[in-house]
Each structure stands twice: as structure tokens, then as C-alpha cells.
Amino acid sequence: MLEIRRRPNRVTLILDDRSARLEVSLYEETFQQHRDIIVKDAILIVDGTLRFDDFIEAWRLQAKTLMDIDRARERFARRLWLRWPAEFDGPDGMNRFEQLLKPHLRGPCGVSVAVNRPDYAGRLNLPDTWSVHPSRAFLDQLTAVVGREGWYLVYGPRSEVRGEETSSWR
């Protein structure tokens, strides 16, 4: 989000993703419901009605609901793919992995693991008991262990996310 403009009965946000700008209008009530996430430079997901405004000769979005990127990630991520780090190989590796996931278990996001070593490679979808909440805190911890290139999230209906996404990710 780039800019916030207040008007008597509504608020206008200017969203900018560095490729284009979009004006988003919110009624005061909608603004008040989401005011905690409407801050400069926030990444927002906006649901609303899109229409072309002849007066400004541009597209305009009338917002119904807003969500910040962290909340959207937790709500819509369906699978976490993890590149198994070499430091998890060996007897203590699974224990370290379990300790990393344990505080974040029982979430909506399944976990899959890809292993690629010189003498073996494979992929494994963990059982639902290993599903996690993909919170920012958890992903920060995961990044500290495997790096930002060591994991990614898959979004979509859970029934369509089966774990085949890593065919080219090794």
C-alpha cells in the first residue's frame, strides 16, 4: 500500500505493486474493521468489486474485506514443501525436525519433504498429524534452519494439493 486518503464517509487506498497502481475505496465501517492492517507498505489482499471508472479513466476496486499477507498465508497455504537439510541427516536429525515443527502442529498446512543427496533422492508427504500453522514466526524459524530457498508454500484447495509440485525442485 502506498497512500491513504480520508474522505467524509470513506477512505481511499492507493495500492502499488511497482507494476501498476490501483485505487481502492472503503466505506468507513470497512476501514474501521481493518484499520489495524491498513498501514503504509503493508502487503494486503483485498476482496471487492472491480469496475472501470470513466471519470478517472482507470480501474477502481470497492473493498469488502481486507487481509494482511500473514493472515492470508495462514488461511490459504495448503502444503509446505521443505528441502531436507543435510544437518538433519543422522540419528538426531528427526528429533531436531520434530522440535522445530512441534509448537506449530495441528494446522491446515500439510508438510512434504524433498531429499536430494548424491547417492539417493526422494519425496515424502508427511501424515496429517504433522500439518502445521504456517505463521510468520514458524517460517522465520524454518528459514533460519534451511534458508529461504529451502522451503516454499503451495496454495489452493486442499483436495487439489497432492504433493506433486516438486518434480523440478531438487
Instruction: Tell me the mean pLDDT in the region 41-53.
Output: 91
| Cross-strand bridge partners of residue 113 | 82, 124
Is the per-residue pLDDT at 135 higher than 60?
Answer: yes
Residue whose C-alpha is closest to residue 25's, from 8, 17, 40: 8
Mean pLDDT of 26-31: 92
Domain boundaries, the chain: 3-68, 72-160
Fold of 3-68: OB fold (Dihydrolipoamide Acetyltransferase, E2P) (2.40.50)
SS3 13: strand
**pLDDT the model gives residue 158:** 58
pLDDT at 7: 84
Please report, as a single letter, which amino acid is at residue 111.
Answer: V
Helices (H) and strands (E) counted in the chain, each on its own, are 4, 10
CA–CA dist 158, 56 (Å, integer): 40
Query: How large is the average pLDDT for residues 129-140?
Result: 95
Judge whether residue 1 has pLDDT over 70: no
Q: Which contacts of 89-92 are long-range, i.e. CB under 8 A and separated by 24 or more positions?
A: 89/117
CA distance 125 to 23: 42
84 DSSP 8-state letter = -
Most confident by average pLDDT, 44-48, 85-89, 159-163: 44-48
Instruction: State yes or no: pLDDT of 169 exceeds 90.
Output: no
Percent of the chain with pLDDT over 70: 91
Neighbours of 81 (CB within 10 A): 20
Give the model confidence (pLDDT) of 4-21 as tens digits: 888 888 899 988 888 888
